Structure 1
Amino acid sequence: MADAGDLLGVTDSDKAALLGLYEEKRANLVRFFAARLGSRAEAEDLVQDLFIRISGMEAVGPVENPSALLHRIGSNLMLDRLRSQKRSGNRDNDWRAVNTTLVAGQEIADEPSADEVVAGRQRLKALVEAIEDLPEKTRQAFQLHKLDGHSHVETARRMGISVSTVEKHISSALKTLTRRLR
């Protein structure tokens, strides 16, 4: 998902002003996002991601309302974070539904059969090979985000590319891996 940071560039002086405004409003931003996320720690992480996003913005044109831009970028980062958490929760619930049995109100993990263990190892080996066959940048973005757990913003910063490029690499990796592992 593109956000204001991808769509609107800033001049170097506007970038400095944005960073100054960020420093000035940081505590307010944390409170603002903590109220929406229900967690001060999550809000701190989000505001840090906001700083990274602002720091990485390229110079293009002037910013008319810097405060609104900070809130817009932060809100988009928050939405991305919430969507990611929802997808992760859904994956966990799906896994639990398939791999556990409810006995007397307690979830008990099902033990796999020997054939399931062998099949699982073969699938894992095929997955590792498929990941190794991805183009270098696509593999790097996939590993940083999906395997190492970095956000799209952090992955972009580490790779020196835009967030939208990270999203494209990850999408490409997922399509390729899904196609190969069917």
Structure 2
Amino acid sequence: MTILRIDASARRADSVTRRLTGRIAARLGGKVIHRDLAARPPALVTEEMVAAYFAAPEERTEAQRAAIAPSDAVVAELRAADTIVIGMPIYNFGPPASLKAWADLAARVGVTFRYGASGPEGLLEGKRAIVAVASGGTQTGSEVDWATPWLRFFLGFIGIADVSVVTADQLNMGGEAKVEGAYAEIDALSPAA
């Protein structure tokens, strides 16, 4: 099994989501590809990238191939993974900007999704995602949690429908007990997809 572990917390030390993603990856076992969005922030989509996306692959210039190289790397990691483990802290009711930037690189028409007769169709089917969510005050699944529904929708949009969420929310109101509850959720995960 190949696991793509994505850490989006700006905190490298004392990050709850990093502790959770590490524990999930250890529980699942297998080869781990690690993408740390704080250590290597994703490129932002540019006009040059958009032009390259819509150029036929065989007609792309060297500059266009270089412009989309960050997106190509993100897509290659997604394709290689059987399971995607994402650590997502909730910042101001939404996902970290780095995770949104990563998603912008992952969403490629004709590559990770396509438009069919019935609308968009995800092309990364058969994969599993486990999302580790942490927040200081936002309750996961509440009307002010815009991060978790967005990420579930995004993953489904690119074809990843099997999404589990491990939660350590409202840490400012429950502290380490919330983390222990998330650990119990992780320990109950099935290693097999």
Q: Considering the TM-score relative to the shorter chain, is it more than 0.5?
A: no
Q: Which has the higher helix share?
A: 1
What is the TM-score with the length of structure 1 in the denominator? 0.29
Q: Which has the higher strand share?
A: 2
Q: Which structure has the greater CA radius of gyration?
A: 1
What is the TM-score with the length of structure 2 in the denominator? 0.28
